[in-house]
Amino acid sequence: MAIYPDPAVLYPDVEAHGSLGAALRAVAQGRLASVPLTSPEADPLLAASVDCTLPYREPLHVSAYDHKRLWSIRGVASFDGMALIEGTTDDLAQVAEAARAWHDGAALSDICEAAPFVRQTGRFDVPDLDPGLLTESEWRHLRTEANELEYPWQPAYQALIEHAYAQPALRRLYPFTSHWALRFSTTTRPRLSVVGPLLETRGVGEYALAASLADEDPARFTTAAQAVAAAVRQLPSTLGPVTLGR
């Protein structure tokens, strides 16, 4: 069982202010003075949240690592809880910059400019909850994620995502992944309506098309293009536009 140091040892400056929220205010030198910013009573040194003026974004969540001195942030959309921005840094002043920009409702790209440790997940704001735009946003996230992965099977996985996106019949469906298997829905998050088969990368030069994660005998292919084409053929012919998964 891992034994982690006392948070006061890792974060003596935060402990001196009593909470991560208070420490953020201090390093911001007045720029967060009027911003709603709180830390939970249970872990005041390790967490904080920063309100946003935009109703379609949740408060920015700031977390401190419990085994080394490092902070992470996560900003999500209110409707489905999906991350719009993420990032880690050992510079609390940079966290404060990101917090101020998030609170002010800055564009996602502007938040990244204000605090360079922040990265966009590929998703974008959809204030009016248009299902088509939510679908496009999720596809952009999957493509961004596939491009940035640092695993041996990354090229094969990226090829699968890109070939699926290139197919109009799949691109108009809401995509999601489960255990790195690509799946599709006729509704957006948070309530998905799964349709069609799932696509998996089983290693270099091996792709699988299965009815479900429990399928023990999936169809196998040597290229992403073959697997995606087979998935398209298995889609119902009467699918309508994606709707909100309320």
**Which residue type does 246 have?**
R
> What is the per-residue burial (b if ≥16 Cβ within 10 Å, else e) of 138-159?
bbbbbbeebeeeeeeeeebbbb
pTM above 0.85, yes or no: yes
Average pLDDT, the chain: 95
Q: How many CB atoms lie within 10 A of CB 185?
A: 21
Do residue 149 and residue 91 come from a single domain?
A: no
CA distances from 211 to 41, 46, 116, 149, 197 (A): 46, 43, 42, 26, 5
**Percent of the chain scored above 70 by pLDDT?**
99
By three-state DSSP, how is residue 240 classified? coil
Residue 119 forms beta bridges with which residues?
86
Indicate if the pLDDT at residue 1 is higher than 70: no
Do residue 137 and residue 111 come from a single domain?
A: no
Do residue 152 and residue 228 come from a single domain?
A: yes
Tens digits of per-residue pLDDT, 29-88?
A: 999 999 999 999 999 999 999 999 999 999 999 999 999 999 999 999 999 999 999 999
Report d(CA 95, CA 99) in Å as an integer: 6
Do residue 162 and residue 91 come from a single domain?
A: no
Position 88 in a domain: yes
Report d(CA 23, CA 45) in Å as an integer: 9
Residue 221 forms beta bridges with which residues?
207
Do residue 25 and residue 106 come from a single domain?
A: yes
Contacts of residue 33, defined as CB under 8 A and 6 or more positions apart, other chains included, come to 25
Do residue 116 and residue 141 come from a single domain?
A: no
Residue at which a domain ends, from 120, 150, 179: 120
Number of domains in the chain: 2
By three-state DSSP, how is residue 55 classified? coil
Do residue 83 and residue 165 come from a single domain?
A: no
96 touches 27 (CB < 8 A): yes
Q: How many CB atoms lie within 10 A of CB 43?
A: 15
Helix (H) or strand (E) holding 199: strand 198-203
Do residue 165 and residue 221 come from a single domain?
A: yes
Report d(CA 61, CA 134) in Å as an integer: 22
Do residue 156 and residue 72 come from a single domain?
A: no
Tens digits of per-residue pLDDT, 87-142?
A: 999 999 999 999 999 999 999 999 999 999 999 999 999 999 999 999 999 999 99
Tens digits of per-residue pLDDT, 2-25?
A: 677 889 899 999 999 999 999 999
Residue at which a domain ends, from 94, 120, 146: 120
Q: Can you give the pLDDT at residue 215?
A: 83
Position 1 in a domain: no
Helix, strand, coil percent content, the chain, rounded in steps of 5: 35, 25, 40
124: left (phi over 0), alpha (psi -120 to 50) or beta: beta
**Which residue type does 236 have?**
P
Position 125 in a domain: no
Position 28 in a domain: yes
Print the domain residue range for 204. 131-245
Q: Can you give the pLDDT at residue 4?
A: 77
